[in-house]
Amino acid sequence: MTDQEVIDLINRSLAEEFELDLEKMVPEANLYEDLGLDSLDAVDMVIVLETAFNFKIRDNDAIKSIRTLGDLYNFVFEKKKKLEAAE
């Protein structure tokens, strides 16, 4: 899966789950201020990502520092790299 495919899957998954406009889904978009998510949505976001990418992220403290879609993309890129390296 390419980086662009990862970004597309994240955007589609979040847009569908939270009824977001794909045009607003840009790397600099703040999840809370620009996209209107709240702390409860953040929990749902973790579940959506776990389902989309088939890996667990709940115990990862790094998820708490994610503020923008770009942060989220980078988090998933790093998680995928670590999992691929472990295989």
Catalytic-role residue among 8, 21, 34, 38: 38
Instruction: Give φ, ψ of 73 to 5 degrees.
Output: -60, -50
Q: What is the Cα–Cα distance from 60 to 56, expressed in whole angstroms?
A: 9
Q: Tell me whether residue 44 is one of the annotated catalytic residues.
A: no
Q: How far apart are the first and last CA of the chain?
A: 15
Catalytic residue numbers? Answer: 38
